Amino acid sequence: KAGVTQTPRYLIKTRGQQVTLSCSPISGHRSVSWYQQTPGQGLQFLFEYFSETQRNKGNFPGRFSGRQFSNSRSEMNVSTLELGDSALYLCASSPEGAGELYEQYFGPGTRLTVT
Amino acid sequence: KQEVTQIPAALSVPEGENLVLNCSFTDSAIYNLQWFRQDPGKGLTSLLLIQSSQREQTSGRLNASLDKSSGRSTLYIAASQPGDSATYLCAVVNAGNMLTFGGGTRLMVKP
């Protein structure tokens, strides 16, 4: 089975621009979660999508948004980029979500640099 | 609010040593705890998942234990190898279906 894939792997953007990142979960997984990893804040939860609906949301500003398609693929969008948005963005998939029984499987991440 | 702490932040050991990584969490009402490995600039690789009803899980040279009542988990690595060098992260799941991560332990195993 193919793992979680994320595209692109690397991005360089300028302040004020917007960016869209993509995540394809493991086949059969319906939950996709997004995390931001920075040296200062570590790994922080952005949001989770399940069956095309946002089920949970972390404490991030509204500039961060996402969606999920009927094939479970997910995209996240960051508008009006700030220097502090430079980070490794990771997505994770699991069959039903991070409940008791389910492991979360992570993709390789997208490294976003904002200049 | 759940807080997860990992001690030590960094660890350097000679090859062949057995070692223990520690993880503590403040809210014991967790669904499960997961240990991950992260190589520099890469994504996370799941190592072990311990469900809330379990006390430990083993995979090869790795053994993870969970004590919910005291809010602690340990990851035991036997006979460490240079290839074990990486950052090890623990994460817990409470209600809300999200992982709360510790800051990680950066492990260096010297040949």
Q: Confidence band (pLDDT; 50, 70, 90) for A97? A: low
Mean pLDDT of A72-80: 97
Percent of the residues in chain A that have a pLDDT greater than 90, as a whole number: 84
Contact B31 A107 (CB under 8 A): no
Contact B100 A45 (CB under 8 A): yes
Instruction: Identify all chain B residues contacting A88, using CB atoms and an 8 Å cutoff.
Output: 41
Instruction: Identify all chain B residues contacting A105, using CB atoms and an 8 Å cutoff.
Output: 46
B49 CB near a chain A CB, below 8 Å?
Answer: yes
Mean pLDDT of A93-103: 75
Q: Using a CB cutoff of 8 Å and minimum separation of 24, what contacts does B1-5 make?
A: B1/B27, B2/B26, B2/B27, B2/B30, B2/B92, B2/B94, B2/B100, B3/B27, B3/B100, B4/B90, B4/B91, B4/B92, B4/B100, B4/B101, B4/B102, B4/B103, B5/B102, B5/B103
